[in-house]
Structure 1
Amino acid sequence: MPGKKLDIEKAATLIKQGGLVVFPAKCLYGLAVDASSSEAVSQIFKVKQRPPSNPILVLISDISWLGQLVAQVPQSAKAIMERFWPGDVTLVFEAGPNLPGALTAATGKIGVRLPQHPVARALVRAAGIPVTGTSANISGEKGCSRVDELDARLLQGVDMVLDAGTLKGGKGSTVVDVTQFPPRVLRHGEIGEDEILQCVSGIH
């Protein structure tokens, strides 16, 4: 059965060993590696043919993990997390000092999400470390909602695929920069900008 515990445990072990794993997010398939490993993160850029100027977001299984990744958690971020996590919002924070430079693309910021898909959450939990959440596609090409859509060039560099069947597709998460106030929507997705601003309207 797709996403069964044995598969997730094997995938988590591969990630901890520096491997690349394709996994299901809510809308599209993603590519997970150990977010703290400069070598593994560099492999993602190579496999995806991704420009080094494009940062990569990180997935966590618990809000307490933010301390490993970000310099501070503003009140606006806390309000958005309480309202919309797990799931449809990726928050962009001021990056902590110990992250691989490639992960942030030298922006000083890091995108973080608590995933909603049960397999994605189980994978991150089993790995016990933050993992990357970039889409499993060649850079600039469309994302994949089924594993049979995955590009053969990308699959050549992947160690394992967790097949959870057909995903919903669609816009993906809304990306919100919480390093400023009011927060700024960088990419429109599942949650509308008006909902984000309403969520933080009582914060000063």
Structure 2
Amino acid sequence: MIVPTSEGAFQEAARLLRQGGLIAFPTETYYGLGVDPFNAEALRRLFAVKRRAADKPVLVLVADQSQVPLLAEEMPEPLRLLMKRYWPGPLTLIFPAKKNLPKLLTGGTGTVGIRQSPEPTAARLLAAFGGPITATSANRSGKEGAVTAAEVEMAFGAEIDLILDGGKTPGGAGSTLVGWDGQALRCCREGRIPFAEIAAFLAAVNTKEHLFSPA
């Protein structure tokens, strides 16, 4: 069911999430599929609907940096610097995951991808829910991500409990995925922010501040 954004719509979406529901909403890249990332049953439903392999993790949106410790075991200094520079924005950072997170969320990798979205609808949804929400792209695995609420409905129909219509999203490239292996920055997926720009920023900060060992 597609609903226009309103305070009532955000509260209904939050209620559905708390009950293990599956919703769709716009982000700064594509529409995303949202469930409570701490609800293992909701995650199983998400993976079934998306037809996603169990060993492929899904990323999570947070309202702000204060929610990162709910998901991440630690915050390496390079990733903390990137959060400060690029959030909110299309940069997903890969952190060591808390041990108690559902295995489906991490795909058994021991890591979790997190970002803060600048998209107003996503931000209002996170505020209404009061916690992190998954935001894997709204598509069947292997298919193109949806950029409108109508495309989400066309792809999933009644399998989605609610679709928040926040207008057309940019599509094109997804978020850039970046991790830190203890010594060097690694690009897991090139996206909207060029990895070369991210690496250059971090190298410049390190040269100036000597905050961590160079690769």
| Alignment match, 2:147 | 145
Q: CA deviation at 1:67?
A: 1.2
Matched, 1:183 2:185: yes
* Contact 1:34/1:40 (<8 A) preserved: yes
Percent identity, please: 38
| Alignment match, 1:16 | 18
Closer, same or farther in 2 for the Cα pair 1:197/1:153, shift >3 Å? closer
* Contact 1:18/1:40 (<8 A) preserved: yes
* Contact 1:72/1:93 (<8 A) preserved: yes
Instruction: Write out per-residue CA displacement over residues 90-128 of structure 1, whole angstroms, 9 at most, x where no aligned residue.
Output: 000110111001110101010001111011011111101
Q: CA deviation at 1:152?
A: 4.1
The structure whose Rg is larger is: 2
When the two structures are aligned, how many residues end up with a matched partner?
A: 204
Q: CA deviation at 1:17?
A: 1.0
Which SS does the other structure have where 2:43 is aligned?
helix
Per the normalisation by structure 1, the TM-score is: 0.95
Matched, 1:65 2:67: yes
Instruction: Write out per-residue CA displacement over residues 113-156 of structure 1, whole angstroms, 9 at most, x where no aligned residue.
Output: 11110110111111012110101111110001112222645233
Q: CA deviation at 1:199?
A: 2.1
Which SS does the other structure have where 2:33 is aligned?
strand
> Structure 1: any 5+ residue segments left out of the alignment?
none
| Alignment match, 2:167 | 165
> Structure 2: any 5+ residue segments left out of the alignment?
none
The amino acid of 1:95's aligned partner reads A
Structure 1 range deviating more: 127-136 or 180-189: 180-189
The amino acid of 2:198's aligned partner reads I
Matched, 1:104 2:106: yes
The amino acid of 1:23's aligned partner reads F
| Alignment match, 1:174 | 176
Following the alignment from structure 1 to structure 2, what is the Cα–Cα distance between the partners of residues 103 and 197?
27
Instruction: Write out per-residue CA displacement over residues 66-93 of structure 1, whole angstroms, 9 at most, x where no aligned residue.
Output: 1111111011001101110001100001
Instruction: Write out per-residue CA displacement over residues 133-192 of structure 1, whole angstroms, 9 at most, x where no aligned residue.
Output: 101111110001112222645233211000112111120210001243321011111111
Q: CA deviation at 1:64?
A: 1.0
| Alignment match, 1:53 | 55
Instruction: Write out per-residue CA displacement over residues 39-75 of structure 1, whole angstroms, 9 at most, x where no aligned residue.
Output: 0011100000111111011111021111111111011
Which SS does the other structure have where 1:162 is aligned?
strand
Following the alignment from structure 1 to structure 2, what is the Cα–Cα distance between the partners of residues 40 and 178?
29
* Contact 2:29/2:90 (<8 A) preserved: no
* Contact 1:55/1:103 (<8 A) preserved: yes
Moved over 2 A (4+): 150-156, 178-181
